[in-house]
């Protein structure tokens, strides 16, 4: 019997967050895997801000745009239901870059497929605390930001998946941690539930005055870019580091980050460095092992903002990009 695979097709370049105008839920027959390929029955789709670049027409970004007419790509967790690859048996639980679809047909090497340890009770952790959000948080805080015990770390989009994990990694490394998020509820959660030294609600205004309360910032983990960077640069300590993880402000507005306070880079002898998870994919096992130690000890945790059903992907995606979600946004296809 032919299996029909529903999938989200990119038909146009979305403007802002008008995703319904650009993506269509389509159907096509599911083909058998080719030589070296596997087919996953997707159980969970990870909603990640970086995938917004694939929808754009920018050719100078960190990822080339997807051709129009392609199935939208993202990180998935799924179970192998058909295989022509010697290392992936049927029934294996896998994390990989697959498709926003009921089924993903992938080349495991090209898709970065990893067999998952099912002794981890909550499989969602493999796209959160123990996944690329966790890897990115650890790398950005410890390697790019070079945070040291006793230093002050500031994280923007601190209530999102990567930001919240960056806060917890910095705390585990002995830093004083502040976060920036949108809304009073998120500000309270960062301080009362996750133990940050302080949190700033950028929607409440007077961000500069609140940033002054930090006493000076040694490491800024930047997920946002845009005007917020101008608020932070004058509050950096001399020889501070800015680890640029994401530019959500640019993704959603279509504008380019251009710091007005760029002179502070010279005046304060700052280092600004971007980093991108594919650059350290080969370090995945090492990063996972370190994160697993903290995760098993209860020092890394995420709330999951979940919607159910492939038809609701755009709901979950918009919640993630607009800051409506707290923690990790996912779409659950099989519960």
User: Could you tell me which residues come within 8 angstroms of residue 25 by beta carbon, excluding any fewer than 6 positions away?
Assistant: 6, 7, 8, 9, 310, 311
**CA dist list (Å): 155 to 24, 314, 322:** 35, 26, 17
What is the distance between the alpha carbons of residues 120 and 110, in angstroms, rounded to a whole number?
A: 25
Q: Across the chain, what does the average pLDDT equal?
A: 95
Nearest to 223 by CA among 242, 240, 245: 245
10 Å CB burial of residue 80 (0-12, 13-18, 19+) is buried
Bridge partners of 222, per DSSP, are 244
| pLDDT tens sequence across 235-244 | 999 999 999 9
Percent of the chain residues past pLDDT 70, beyond the cut? 99
Contacts of 293 (CB under 8 A, 6+ apart): none
Domains of the chain in start order, with CATH, are 4-127+302-332 (3.90.180.10), 132-278 (3.40.50.720)
b/e string for 51-76 if b means 16 or more Cβ within 10 A? bbbbbbeeeebeeebbeeeebbbbbb
| Residues 63-107 pLDDT 10s | 789 999 999 999 999 999 999 999 999 999 999 999 999 999 999
How far, in Å, CA of 98 to CA of 112, rounded? 9
Q: How far apart are the first and last CA of the chain?
A: 25
pLDDT tens, position by position, 118-176: 999 999 999 999 999 999 999 999 999 999 999 999 999 999 999 999 999 999 999 99
Strand bridging mode 176-181 / 152-155: parallel
310 by Cβ neighbours in 10 Å (0-12 / 13-18 / 19+) ranks as middle
């Amino acid at each position: 019997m032919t299996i029909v695979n529903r999938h989200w097709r990119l038909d146009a370049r979305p403007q802002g967050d008008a995703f319904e105008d650009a993506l269509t839920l389509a159907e096509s027959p599911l083909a058998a895997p080719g030589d070296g390929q596997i087919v996953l029955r997707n159980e969970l789709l990870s909603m990640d801000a970086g995938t917004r670049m694939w929808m754009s027409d920018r050719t100078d970004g960190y990822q080339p745009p997807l051709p129009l007419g392609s199935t939208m790509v993202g990180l998935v967790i799924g179970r192998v239901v058909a295989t022509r690859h010697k290392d992936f048996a049927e029934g294996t639980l896998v994390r990989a870059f697959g498709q926003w679809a009921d089924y993903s047909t992938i080349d495991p090497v090209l898709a970065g497929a990893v067999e998952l340890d099912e002794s981890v009770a909550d499989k969602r952790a493999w796209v959160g605390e123990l996944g690329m959000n966790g890897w990115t948080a650890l790398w950005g805080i410890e390697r790019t930001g070079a945070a040291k015990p006793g230093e002050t770390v500031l994280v923007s989009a601190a209530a999102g998946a990567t930001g919240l994990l960056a806060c917890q990694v910095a705390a585990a490394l002995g830093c004083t941690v502040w976060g920036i998020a949108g809304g009073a509820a998120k500000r309270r959660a960062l301080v009362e539930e996750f133990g940050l030294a302080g949190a700033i609600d950028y929607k409440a205004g007077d961000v500069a005055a609140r940033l002054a309360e930090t006493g000076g910032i040694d490491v800024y983990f930047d997920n946002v870019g845009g005007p917020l960077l101008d608020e932070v640069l004058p509050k950096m300590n001399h020889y501070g580091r800015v680890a640029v993880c994401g530019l959500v402000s640019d993704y959603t507005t279509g504008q380019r980050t251009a710091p007005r306070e760029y002179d502070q880079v010279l005046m304060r002898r700052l280092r600004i460095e971007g980093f991108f998870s594919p650059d350290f994919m080969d370090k995945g096992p090492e990063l996972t092992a370190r994160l697993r130690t903290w995760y098993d000890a209860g020092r890394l945790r995420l709330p999951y903002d979940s919607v159910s059903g492939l038809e609701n992907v755009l709901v979950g995606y918009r919640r993630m990009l607009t800051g409506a979600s707290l923690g990790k946004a996912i779409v659950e296809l099989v519960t």
